[in-house]
Structure 1
Amino acid sequence: MFLKYLQIVNYKNLKSTRFSFVEGVNTVIGENDSGKSNAMTALRILLDDTYYYNTKRLKENDFSDSLENWKGHWIILSAVFGKITSEDKKTEVCAGIVPENEDEEFLKSYIKSGEDDIGVISLFIRPQKHVRKKLSEITDTAEFEKERRKIKISDYEFYYTSRAQTDFTNNDIYAKIVGDLENGKCSNPDEDDDSILGCKLNIADVQDHISVVFIDALRDVASELGKPKNPIRRIIESVESLIKESELDTIKSEIVQLNISISKVEQVELVGRKINEKLLDMIGMVYSPEIILQSGLKDDINSLSRYLFMKPSKQNDIDSLGLGHLNMIYIALKIVEYEINRTRELINIMIIEEPEAHIHTHIQRTLFDKLKVTKDYTQIITTTHSTHLAEVSEVKNINIMKSISSNSISMQPSQGLDEFGKQNLKLKNLKLSDCIERYLDSKRSVLLFSKGVVLVEGDGEEILIPNIIKKTLGVSLDEIGIGLINVGSVSFEYIASLFGNERIRRKCAIITDEDVQIVEKESTFYKAEAEERGQKRKDKLTKLYGTNPWVKSFFAPHTLEVDFALADTRANSDYISNVIELNYVDTDTVERHKKNLKSGTEAKCANTILTLAGNMGKGWYATTLSNYIDNATTIPKYILEAIAFASKEVISLDIILKMIEYSLSKYDGNTVIDLKKENKEIKTNDEKNEIIKKFKSEYENDVVTKFLREVEKYCKD
């Protein structure tokens, strides 16, 4: 049995989302404050009996950040377990969470066909029955709101159920069981539907059979190991019964002798006598008890275990080790503790927050691979920021967090991925998920963390595009939140399949060449088949992703190198002229190429560019060219559009103002807008928007204005 799904409704920044897990090691990735830790806390609230959570610990800010008024709303946490076999169901506790009658619609969306039975445990943190009953009887909206304002945290209850086959992330379901509170309607608790909520459950009966171990991200290893209840002591407590009786007797005998020896130390006896003398002085001989001072080391192994400590074999103190080694030791200790103490037969879950903390990248991969060996006896859920851990994770094991305003959702990149591969990419003997797993190295797995993604086909685009954006807009792609991935081919359809409503809901722009031939047919660079391939590629991508709101293709009419030169023969050609001078020694050759570049036909210009890039290699050409471009560079339109599309959801007002400030600096101070002066007065978003509006009006042809127009266009779409 293993945890297959976790539904979370109205808990902190997780308004309504579902996590998907598999056996073995699972990875939850996402940016800071995206809700990874909140999800793990929610799981512990539901299943971990050592994390006791009730109305005394419940706080107002535990309710969803997006609720205008938390009062009356419910927090819902629901775990769906998979792979419950007929043998498992023979146990009373396991049989108690398996639905008596399976809901086909629920199973269709939650469980693949052919799997064993499911089990469900749910927690509803909701107002007590009398509170809901009173609200449900009020028909006047004003009176309802007045009564609702009286609700306190202490009016809430923790109600556990089993067997619920309900998608609680469905807004209609939520409205049915809770009501429309904002419009003065509360559901009648007398009409609570067990077919939706499930059967009442004594959670203690189940939690006794569930083991949850939590390793915090903010771990002070040296401090943890120094605590009385450290992992070492808990391990020794667990193996105490296995120690031979003869060994225990020997230890006890030696401790008795040690206590006697300590007590007979002259200074110790002297202190005891002085205490007795002081008592006699204070209360007299009749009332004064006679005391002695003696050693009282306990002789049981449980007490002795607190004095066990770890240290490096060649050093005197564990504090001499670095943070990386300490973290690895601590994780190893927790896993050993878990292996020894995993006595709960129903399910064992280990939660590790940021296992990569302070650990070298190569060791991160090794550690993660070794964690997989625990698959036979436990399920591990890790949260991470590490692209290296993402690299060694399987796509089906990953949940990606995405922040939307004050809410976060969980996305599963493997959802329906293999089916997409079979139906649309005609993959017969290969699984698309397997192909992508092999493809996503630590560099390319950046796409799992980025807020927007741009896929390019080669080294030239990978090198030149980030530099063009930085030089012209004044911000890097990283600042905008865009990850640029070099696919290394034109097979974009495989990687782009990760993006969509079912999987990763982030913008993915594809930049590729249409390869329309511009050079003369007699030229060595003329390739009719390239133009045919370009058209087929365009047709394929349009067919696959034309209706996908998250994926859009942008085509260079010819190739990056040619279209950069043709974008503005006055400005961009000057940068290319510098590269020509650097690459060629012969004066006549330099002048001929410069002439073709600036005053020749498009065909001659293209021929010069292709010759130059061919001689140097496209990657090195792009690197060299990047050294010369500046803020006067003209961005090819298709690149500008692609970056605008990818950044549609993530670009902020502050980033835009930074672009404007950078752009104004090239006007040598003679600007209509004095941003330094106005910045002191800018406080609200309305004031920021007013500055942006003013800039766009006064500088219509500025590259920042052109970029913002493209962003606005996609926002309207």
Structure 2
Amino acid sequence: MYLKYLQIVNYKNLKAARFIFSQGANTIIGENDSGKSNAVTALRLLLDDSYYYNSKRMKESDFAYDLGEWRGHWIIISAVFVDITSIDKQTEVCAEIVPEDENRVFLNSYINSGTGDIGTVTLFIRPQKFVRKKLYEAQTKEEFEEILNEVKLSDYEFYYTSRSQTDFTDPTVYKTIVGDFETGSYCNPDDDDTAILGSKLNITDVQDHISVMFVDALRDVANEMRKPRNPIRRIVEAIEAQIDPADIERIKEKISELNLSISEVKEIGEIGTQINSKLMDMIGMVYSPEIALESQLNDEINALSRYLSIKPSNQNDMDLLGLGHLNMIYMALKLVEFKFNRTRELINIMIIEEPEAHIHTHIQKTLFDNLKLTKDYTQVIMTTHSTHLSEASEISKINLIKTKGVVSCVMQPIENLDQFGESKLLLKDMKLSECIERYLDAKRSVLLFSKGVLLVEGDGEEILIPNLVKKGLGISLDELGIGLINVGSTAFEYIASLFDNKRIQRYCSIITDRDIQAVAEDSSHYSVNAQKKGEARRIKLDGLFSENPWVSTFYATNTFEVEFAKHSSNQYFIKDIIESHYTQEAAIKRHKEALKAGGTDGANTVLTLANSIGKGWYATLLSSKVDESVVIPEYILNAIAYACQEIVTAEIKLKMVRYSMTFYPNSNSAAQDILSTLTNVLNEKEKEEVIERYCTTFPIDTPAIFIRKINEAFWW
């Protein structure tokens, strides 16, 4: 059996979260403060007997942040275990968590379990019955709220059940078992439905058969190894019965000899003599006991295990090892501990926060790959910020957490992914999830951590766009939380398919070319085939994603290089490259004139220059020359605005305003007035007013255009 499904309701920023896990190594990925640690803590509240938590330790902040008034609300944490075999069910507690009548609708909708049975364990942190009864009996909304105001944390109980098969993340279910706070109606506790809530459970019976090991991100391995209940001692306890009795007897004899040798040391004997002398001086010979100081080392194997330690073979002290090696040793010990204990426990769950801490990138991937091999006896759940670990992760074993305001939602990239690949992309020989797993290297897997994503065709866009944003808007893609992914082709549909209501709910912009030919037919750069492919690509992408609220495609009419050169401000940067690339004055003059003339001549010059230098190197040279006067092609600006529409705050807009204003001369009174306003502390209304004033006064500035696109998000 293994943990398949975890529901969390009203716990901190996890208002209604659903995590799905598999056997082996699972990852929880999310930005800082997204709720990764909250999810781990919730799981420990339910299953970890070493994590002490009750109403005395509760805080008001434990309740979902957007509830407003926490009083009367419930926190619900529910775990579903699957593939429970007939052998597992021979354990009484395991049989106790298996529903007598399985609700297959629930299973098929959410669990899709394997061939075995399921089992559920649920924790309800809720007001005690007498409080719920008062709330139920309230006659008016006013009386209901008066009773609510009197509720204290000490009025809450921890109520555990088994066999529930309810989707507690469904708001309608929550109202059914708790009540409707808007109308002031609370459910009658006398009518608690065990078919929904489950049967009352003694949680210690379950926790005795489930091993949960938590490895903190801020772990002190050396200190952990010195504790009496360290992994080495637990391993020895597990194998004690397997040690040959003859070896145990031999050890006892050696310890007895050692005790005798220590006791016979002259100086130790003298200590005993002096103690006897002092006792006689204090209470006299009649009442003074005769004592002896002697060694009594415990000869029990269990007691001896506390003196076992590990050290590197070429060093005498474990403290000489680096933090990375200590972390790996500790995790290896925990896995060995689980291996020896698996016959005594139904399931071993190892929770590791940030396993990449202090570990070299190549070792991270090796570690993760090897953790997958533990699936026969250990389920691993890791939180991570590492793109290297996410690269090695299987899409089917990733949970992504996204934060919007004070609430986080949990997403599974695998959800209906292969079905999409089969029905929409017509994949036959390979699953879409397998394609993506092979494709997501450490560079591309950044999309899993980004707040928004730009997908581009090649090196030119990858190199130049980040600097266009930095120089044109005064803010970086990293500050916007935007990940730019070089697809290295025009096969955008594979990666873009990850973004969907059912999978990753983040905005993804596809930036590509229609490749309508900008040069004359007699030009060496003319390609009717490229134009046909561009049109076919547009039809395909629009057909796949036109109704997807999370994906939009933004097209260059011609190509990236040509679109950039259409703006006169950008031609100054290209002229610098012409001067440095060509040596003959006639060639320099000819290309500059063609560039200025624009049209097919200008396009031909740009393509000739880019192909001669190499598109990647051409973009690199341009990137080094652009400044604040650069004009970002509109289709790229639209794509960036679309990708970061959930991200751009007033503070980000003000940073762009300040950046833009610094390039105006002191004689520009309007710019100086805005800069002066920005030096004062502004409230939210004042921030919006100064942003609006800037956009109205300087409408053709690139930041102003961008801000309007964000504010008036109708164009996509």
TM tier, smaller: over 0.9
Matched with 2:707 is 708
**Aligned AA for 1:73?**
H
SS where residue 19 of structure 2 aligns? strand
Q: Tell me how far 1:686 sits from its aligned partner.
A: 3.2
Aligned residue runs from structure 1 range 96-495, under 5 A: 96-112=96-112, 115-495=115-495
Q: Tell me how far 1:478 sits from its aligned partner.
A: 0.6
Matched with 2:692 is 693
State the distance in 2 between where 1:94 and 1:233 align. 27
State the distance in 2 between where 1:415 and 1:71 align. 35
Do the aligned partners of residues 86 and 304 (structure 1) sit closer, same or farther apart at CA in structure 2, a change above 3 Å counting? closer
Do the aligned partners of residues 237 and 82 (structure 1) sit closer, same or farther apart at CA in structure 2, a change above 3 Å counting? closer
Q: Tell me how far 1:282 sits from its aligned partner.
A: 4.1
Q: Which moved more, 1:511-520 or 1:154-163?
A: 154-163
> Residue 639 of structure 1 is aligned with which of 636, 651, 657?
636
* TM-score normalised per structure 1: 0.96
State the distance in 2 between where 1:272 and 1:163 align. 64
Q: Which moved more, 1:420-429 or 1:273-282?
A: 273-282
Q: CA contact under 8 A between 1:126 and 1:157: conserved in structure 2? A: yes
Unmatched 5+ residue regions in structure 1?
none
Matched with 2:570 is 572
Q: Tell me how far 1:284 sits from its aligned partner.
A: 4.3
Matched with 2:660 is 663
* TM-score normalised per structure 2: 0.96
1:93 to 2:93 alignment: yes
RMSD between aligned alpha carbons?
2.0
SS where residue 471 of structure 1 aligns? helix
**Aligned AA for 1:627?**
S
Cα displacement string for residues 240-296 of structure 1 (whole angstroms, at most 9, x for unaligned residues)? 222222222232223233223333333333333444444444444454444333323
Q: CA contact under 8 A between 1:210 and 1:344: conserved in structure 2? A: no
Q: Tell me how far 1:679 sits from its aligned partner.
A: 4.6
State the distance in 1 between where 2:253 and 2:172 align. 70
Cα displacement string for residues 33-59 of structure 1 (whole angstroms, at most 9, x for unaligned residues)? 111111111112212233343323333
Q: Which moved more, 1:119-128 or 1:654-663?
A: 654-663
State the distance in 1 between where 2:648 and 2:675 align. 22
Q: CA contact under 8 A between 1:280 and 1:288: conserved in structure 2? A: yes
1:652 to 2:637 alignment: no
Do the aligned partners of residues 638 and 358 (structure 1) sit closer, same or farther apart at CA in structure 2, a change above 3 Å counting? same
Unmatched 5+ residue regions in structure 2?
none
Identity %: 60
Q: Which moved more, 1:229-238 or 1:589-598?
A: 229-238
Q: Tell me how far 1:143 sits from its aligned partner.
A: 2.2
Q: CA contact under 8 A between 1:682 and 1:688: conserved in structure 2? A: no
Q: CA contact under 8 A between 2:452 and 2:643: conserved in structure 1? A: yes
State the distance in 1 between where 2:486 and 2:97 align. 48
State the distance in 1 between where 2:314 and 2:186 align. 67
Q: Tell me how far 1:595 sits from its aligned partner.
A: 0.5
Q: CA contact under 8 A between 1:310 and 1:318: conserved in structure 2? A: yes
State the distance in 2 between where 1:302 and 1:91 align. 27
**Aligned AA for 1:701?**
I
Q: Tell me how far 1:140 sits from its aligned partner.
A: 2.2
Q: CA contact under 8 A between 1:120 and 1:163: conserved in structure 2? A: yes
Cα displacement string for residues 486-520 of structure 1 (whole angstroms, at most 9, x for unaligned residues)? 00111111110000100000000000001111211
Do the aligned partners of residues 679 and 289 (structure 1) sit closer, same or farther apart at CA in structure 2, a change above 3 Å counting? farther
Q: Tell me how far 1:563 sits from its aligned partner.
A: 0.3
State the distance in 2 between where 1:311 and 1:23 align. 32
Do the aligned partners of residues 276 and 181 (structure 1) sit closer, same or farther apart at CA in structure 2, a change above 3 Å counting? farther
Matched with 2:35 is 35
1:597 to 2:595 alignment: yes
Cα displacement string for residues 411-453 of structure 1 (whole angstroms, at most 9, x for unaligned residues)? 0001000111111111123211111111111110000110100
**4+ aligned runs moved over 6 Å, structure 1:** none
SS where residue 714 of structure 1 aligns? coil
Do the aligned partners of residues 249 and 92 (structure 1) sit closer, same or farther apart at CA in structure 2, a change above 3 Å counting? closer
Do the aligned partners of residues 199 and 141 (structure 1) sit closer, same or farther apart at CA in structure 2, a change above 3 Å counting? same
Do the aligned partners of residues 346 and 301 (structure 1) sit closer, same or farther apart at CA in structure 2, a change above 3 Å counting? closer
Matched with 1:56 is 56
Q: CA contact under 8 A between 1:211 and 1:344: conserved in structure 2? A: no
SS where residue 154 of structure 1 aligns? helix
State the distance in 1 between where 2:401 and 2:298 align. 51
State the distance in 1 between where 2:269 and 2:715 align. 88
Q: CA contact under 8 A between 2:458 and 2:487: conserved in structure 1? A: yes
Q: Tell me how far 1:387 sits from its aligned partner.
A: 0.6
State the distance in 2 between where 1:121 and 1:400 align. 24
Do the aligned partners of residues 115 and 502 (structure 1) sit closer, same or farther apart at CA in structure 2, a change above 3 Å counting? farther
Q: CA contact under 8 A between 1:673 and 1:695: conserved in structure 2? A: no
SS where residue 627 of structure 1 aligns? helix
State the distance in 1 between where 2:51 and 2:626 align. 58
State the distance in 2 between where 1:423 and 1:53 align. 48
Q: CA contact under 8 A between 2:414 and 2:503: conserved in structure 1? A: yes
Q: Which moved more, 1:36-45 or 1:589-598?
A: 36-45
Q: CA contact under 8 A between 2:661 and 2:671: conserved in structure 1? A: no
